Structure 1
Amino acid sequence: MGRILEINLTDRTVTTYDTPRHLLETVLGGRGLGVALLQKYVKALCQDRVVQAFDPENPLIFSAGPFTRTGWPAATQFHVTAVSPLTRGLGGGFAWGSFGQSLSRLGLDAIVFTGASERPVYVVLSESGESVRFEGAEDLLGLSSSGVQSTLCGRHGDVSIACTGPAADKRSYLAAIMSEHHAVVRTGLGAVMGSKNLKAIVIPRKSMLAGPSGFKDLEVEMASKVASHPASVRLRQYGKSILVKSKNQVGDLPTRNHQEGSFEHASNLDAEAVAKYTGSLVPCPACPVACIRETVVPSGKYKCRVVGLEYEPIAALGPRIGNGNLELLAYAFFLCQEYGLDPIGVGGVIAFAMECAQRGILDPGDIGAGDGGSGNDFGSIWGNDRVILGLIHAIGKSEGLGRILGRGSLEAAWEVGGGAVYYAMQSKGVELSGQEPRQSKAFGLSLAVSNWGADWGYGLPTIDVAHNEAAAKILMPELLPDVLNVVDQKYKPELVVFSENYNAVCDSLGLCKYSAPETYAVMPSDIARGLSLLFGQEVSVDDVMKAGERIICLERLFNAERGFSRSDDTLPSRFSREPLRVTLFEGDRLKGLRSTGKSVEVVIDLDPMLDRYYELRGWDKNGRPAGVRCPRT
């Protein structure tokens, strides 16, 4: 087992200690280890005081799962945990790439940053991972995220880097933590890193470590299984933009701030359209899915090269803000990456501002729509390039309206007033990701109960939206066929509980979501085999799923101790008040859908699903954990 590195940025003391084996056996690593350490350090540093996001006592934790140090396929994910400026409770996020692997292969399960540096610094870990060097970072302030990384690679050679961009320098709540072209997004953890005057973490790249006897054979078997899975084949061929077409067909493509569920210009943004701008594949290390690719706009005013233009940024910077211009979308995503911003959050707050202008709460001139730019409708508000790019720059620089929007739509709505809160499409302060809760009831519930806000990556209940009958027959046969009906609320709490638990396990081991809870190429039984070899003792499927339940409970306990309750497990009232008409389809979204010729009007009725969800979890009616099912670690 590995070690935990504690770095106090205030006095620059460094401490290393062994990770307790029982901790890894109960919460595995990665995300689970992150929340366990967060509870420990917050209580030790703050006693009874409630720590806030930008307090020096707020620990910033980078953690990697035990599979990332091996050759397990698609084990490329690392996790970051802290108190979030957006949720004001748990903050969590993940990213792929080499950073988590390098961290784990140094023999480190986690790095915990406490305190805050007086001046901007970055830290460089030694080849052994035992010592740390502090370097001044004043010259990195204001550089783009790619500029920071290229500068540090030039100084330190073959290294893995996690850093922030200019948005974190300004403490924007939408600031991300960047690593290569990947980003830890959604809960403002880049702003927490910025508040500590920590600009970057530099880690020497390391080769994979050999697993225990028999583990290599399992790695080879799993690599073949993942690579040949039908979903992997389609993702490798088209990338994640393949989801745009089918989600548009069924009404699950949030459009103009969730006023609609389908976008008339979706064909400009789908996989076929993106393919015309696709360069080379840029797969994560040791990933047989290889879904990430380069997108190149070769000329014109939107000329750029980006990596990672997948479904979520397409949904956020396209239909969500009424933009059907793929070149403009790619350039908007490029700016988000360079500023170090969460593109989902940015799309969400721009959509909020656009609808406020549409409704007369803001003047169109306030958002930059009063004197030019090309748009689609509503007086050139929606899809207006001047508005979109102007607001991204304003958010990245924390200037004017961008300073307000950079705190998220909920806080911005309080400041704007005039009923603007109704148009803030968020939960727990985090902008909704690219799902439509009225159409996808399981995702609606998942976004509401997520312990770090409305993020697709928290629960990931995909079995119904993907119509993954093969996985359902193995994992939840008693719920068939009803659980596969996306617009029906029946059995959606059961699906969300299972999906949250399994997703927490995969996050804690360091597995990419597209190899496991997104596609179920890797099943819980496969993970049980891997953990049995890793721990040297029998681990059952039930043990695996209980670990996931334990992690969810620990996260819920952290928020409950900060006063969170049922009233925080909610969605904007638009989804219960404004019916959405959707067309009913049959089949697999990745393979192609068949229309039934029927349509229905749908809303989401959250309360009965919450009651059942809490019952399944063993929590009280207020959503607070109780009893032995929620042990403290």
Structure 2
Amino acid sequence: MLPKNGATILRVNLSTKEIEKREITDQEVLKKTLGGRGLATYIYINEYDQTLPPEDESSPIMFATGLLTSTMVPCSGRTSIIFKSPVTKSFFKTNVGGHFGGGLKYAGYDILIVEGKSETPCYIYIRDDKVEILDASDLWGMDNREINAELRSRYNDEELQLANIGPAGENQVAFASIHASIYNAAARGGGGAVMGSKNLKCIAVHGTKCVEIARPEEFYNAVTRISAKMDQVPGVKGLTMYGTSIGIESTNAIGAFPVKNFQENQIEGVETLTGQYIVDSGLLKNRIGCYTCPVSCHRFCTIDEGKYKGTFTGGPEYETLSSFGGGCGTTDTYTVLKANEYCNILGMDVISAGAMIQWLMECKQRGVVTDEIADGLDLSWGNGDTIVELTRRMAYREGVGDLLANGVKVASEIIGKDSYKWAIQAKGLEQSRVETRAAFGYALAFAINSRGPDHLNTEPLAEFGGDAVGVEVIKKITGSEKYAYPHTTEKRPEIIRWHEDIYAAGDSLGICAFPTTAQFWMDESDLAELFSASTGIDVTEEDILEGGRRTILMERICVGMMGFDRNDDKLPWRLMNEKLKGAKHDNAINSHEDIEMMKDRYYELHQWDVTSGLPTKEIIKDSNLEEFVEKYSKYVHIKEEY
């Protein structure tokens, strides 16, 4: 298994009950994909039919640990999950922390591929070389906390690590999530619904093996040096103290905090949504780290009094506080925590779940939904009882929750009456809580993202120029620090391309996005040193960036074969047609002209066909992926050369 001995692939077919293990030892494949996300995407293109619908039993879901997952590298506990999304109908990569990836790696597997569909509910149990498909009829219906408790008790194993779904996944909610270590969610894109469609309740794993390092002393020295760099970054301490919600107050202050479904960009009383408030109010009970993470940005909170007394859950993160908080017109953290608990235990993406409530509240605001559709709920902005109850109903598809469980694109098509204009989605995915009209690099990143309008393929925080480190990164990419400014289209394509490349490389190695694209204490030279020392395959920092770029290319190959092109690279209607109002960014907009101009340059940088926004056969060959040309050509017909 990686790092030293190649990659071990475990394939489980739920239809035939076949279990297969195989090795990938070709060093050229490992070098050009970097493992993890890149290697899984490579296998997906080579071995599967991209035209199959997500719910087809032959359509796989792939759990890819990073090359460095389970090693002593700080923040290396990430696992990429790859599937065809029931939301976007396109290629989807999501990612999760916690301890599941470490468990899978220690069992001896770099990638787990699940195919087929079980006739009855099942789960996969892995303990080193022992792999079983077992009946889960008695587990079906359990929430995420219950199934973890049950299986750890059943096997008398507190170290058992699960990747599981809750009732939302069982009920095929479009934005159902996959949970690891209970509160760590691979949330976006509906991976939980894919598992549910296969009647797969969970994967339970306990590994007792070790990971061999090719050059241990060199590896240890690199880890020591990188850890010392981490200790010198001021933002790390703040992230530990206050979690991802550390940025809420400043985001609101600069007029970039989406409020009431992106109708407004600031909210009064935002202080009660901040990480500082969560600490000072006594809600925070513990700080939690993913596998090998010394930062511990995750929260664990409880509510000890009031109507939500007894609530306990991981989080809340920035996106949760924004989506259920400001997005729904409230600053009541207790409401947010309760809605967050439902998402965590029932298994739903907080971004999409909050977006659905926002959209429904705006439908009521505009007189588009009737009291009958609303199930008698008070849909006025900021109503905490409604926010909490709608979250629960979506998971079980009860009443109006059944409508919302389809995702905002489908729900708006059902309701009609121009409600698509305030359905904040593109490619079918609800936008994460970034006000792209106030950040043009993010606007481009969200438009061209294979996932849809979301920050977890590219996190270009450096464009804000918030500190000296971010400014230096922008200068490295563009040649000038003047481009560390978010309200310009200049150099955005160059900035986004670099961030995409290193993000994809980090995913393939199993590294969290914070070190590489948010706090910048781990760069391509560090990743090259770690890759080389761990595998014995020497790479340069340019090899690392090329590996990330190749992963982006492979994902774009998938997108093309699934029938999508440049015309699908866009932002939600509101953000491209309605101007921001307010003192901070009055009249700001993601105009069609600006987006198209930035897309042109972005495609040119990749040497893709500008007309279609898709790779040419020539660039696929030049990227050492000529094995894909014949298959790609069956579905995508563009000119031979850039």
Query: Shorter-chain TM-score category?
Result: over 0.9
Q: Does 1:270 align with 2:274?
A: yes
SS at match of 1:174: coil
Measure the CA separation in 2 of the matches of 1:120 and 1:510.
30
What are the equivalent positions in structure 2 for 1:270-419 lying under 5 Å apart?
A: 270-275=274-279, 276=281, 277-303=283-309, 304-363=311-370, 366-368=373-375, 370=376, 381-419=380-418
Cα 1:535–1:207 change in 2 (3 A) is closer
Q: Spell out, residue by residue over 1:51-87, the C-alpha distance to the aligned partner (whole angstroms, 9 max, x if none).
A: 0011101111001111113111110000111110001
Q: Which residue of 2 aligns with 1:226?
A: 230
Specify which of 600, 604, 619 is matched with residue 611 of structure 1: 600
Which of 598, 601, 605 is the aligned partner of 2:587? 601
2:532 aligns to what?
A: 532
CA distance in 1, matches of 2:52, 2:447: 24
- Contact preservation (8 Å) 2:75, 2:512: yes
Residue pair 1:531, 1:539 contacting (<8 A) in 2 also: yes
1:591 alignment partner in structure 2: none
Aligned to 1:81, the other structure's residue is in SS state strand
Aligned position for 1:420: 419
**Matched residues in 1 for 2:353 and 2:483: separation?**
33
- The equivalent of 1:511 in structure 2 is 511
TM-score of the pair, normalised by structure 2: 0.91
**Secondary structure in 2 aligned to 1:68?**
coil
Q: Which amino acid aligns with 2:294?
A: P
Give SS of 1:497's match.
helix
1:202 alignment partner in structure 2: 204
Q: How does 1:78-93 map to 2 (within 5 A)?
A: 78-93=79-94
| More divergent stretch after superposition (389-398 vs 547-556) | 389-398
How far the C-alpha of 1:146 sits from its partner, in A, is 0.8
SS of corresponding position for 1:602: coil
Preserved CA contact (<8 Å) 2:98 2:184: yes
Cα deviation, residue 600, structure 1: 4.7
Residue type at the aligned position of 1:623: G
Conserved 8 A contact 2:579-2:586: no
Structure 2: distance between partners of 1:2 and 1:500: 24
1:227–1:288: 8 Å Cα contact kept in structure 2?
Answer: no
Residue 306 of structure 1: SS of its match in structure 2?
strand
The sequence identity of aligned pairs, in percent, is 29
Query: Which deviations, in whole Å up to 9, do the C-alpha atoms of 1:283-312 show, x marking residues without a partner?
Result: 223212121121121122222111121111
Kept in 2: contact 1:160–1:202 (CA 8 A)? yes
Deviations along 1:21-68, one digit per CA (max 9) or x if unpaired, are: 33221111221122222222323xx7xxx2001110111100111111
Deviation at 1:537, TM superposition (A): 3.8
Unaligned 5+ residue runs, structure 1? 373-379, 585-598
Alignment of 1:19 onto 2:24: yes
Which secondary structure does the structure 2 equivalent of 1:3 belong to? strand
Q: Which residue type is aligned with residue 277 of structure 2?
A: A
Q: Secondary structure at the match of 2:285?
A: strand
Please, which moves more after superposition, 457-466 or 410-419? 457-466
The 3-state SS of whatever aligns with 1:140 is coil
Unaligned runs of 5+ residues in structure 2 are 1-5, 628-642
Distance in 2 separating the partners of 1:28 and 1:371: 50
Q: Secondary structure at the match of 1:601?
A: coil
* Native 8 Å contact 2:81 2:95 kept in 1: yes
3-state SS, counterpart of residue 12 of structure 1: coil
Aligned residues: 604
Question: Does the Cα contact within 8 Å between 2:107 and 2:209 map onto a contact in 1?
Answer: no
Contact 1:448–1:569, Cα closer than 8 Å, also in 2:
yes
Aligned equivalents of 1:2, 1:423: Cα separation in 2: 45
Q: Offset of 1:95 from its aligned partner?
A: 0.7
Residue by residue over 1:101-152, the C-alpha shift from the partner in whole angstroms, topping out at 9 and shown as x without a partner, is 121222211011111011101111122xx33112211111111111111111
Does the 8 Å contact 1:483/1:495 carry over to 2? no
C-alpha distance in 2 between matches for 1:55 and 1:240: 37
Alpha-carbon separation, structure 1, partners of 2:544 and 2:470: 17
Q: Distance in 2 between matches of 1:474 and 1:402?
A: 44
In the superposition, relative to structure 1, how do residues 583 and 231 fare at CA in structure 2: closer, same or farther (>3 Å)? farther
Q: What corresponds to 1:455 in structure 2?
A: 454
The answer on whether the counterparts of 1:293 and 1:307 sit within 8 Å (CA) in structure 2 is: yes
What's the counterpart of residue 554 of structure 2? 554
C-alpha distance in 1, partners of 2:67/2:237? 27
| Paired AA for residue 286 in structure 2 | S
Quick check: 1:505–1:548 contact (8 Å CA) kept in 2?
Answer: yes
Cα deviation per residue 1:163-196 (whole Å; 9 max; x = unaligned)?
0000011111111001111010110010000111
Verify the 8 A CA contact 1:174 1:188 in the aligned structure 2.
yes
One-letter code aligned to 1:17: R
RMSD between aligned alpha carbons?
A: 1.8
Could you say what secondary structure the match of 2:438 adopts?
A: coil
Amino acid at match of 1:528: A
Say yes or no: does 1:154 pair with 2:180: no
| Paired position in structure 1 for 2:111 | 110
Structure 1 contact 254–262 (Cα < 8 Å) conserved? yes
Does residue 246 of structure 1 match 2:247?
no
Aligned partner of residue 334 in structure 2, secondary structure: helix
Q: Which amino acid aligns with 1:352?
A: W
Residue equivalent to 1:594: none
Tell me the secondary structure at the aligned position of residue 113 of structure 1: strand
What is the distance in 1 between the residues matched to 2:377 and 2:608?
54
**Structure 1 residues 464 and 115: alpha-carbon distance in aligned structure 2, compared to 1, 3 A threshold:** same
SS in 1 for 2:57: coil
Match of 1:99 in 2: 100
The 3-state SS of whatever aligns with 2:132 is strand
Letter in 1 for 2:248: V
CA contact (8 A) 1:182 1:308 kept: no
TM-score by length of 1: 0.92
2:169 equivalent to 1:168: yes
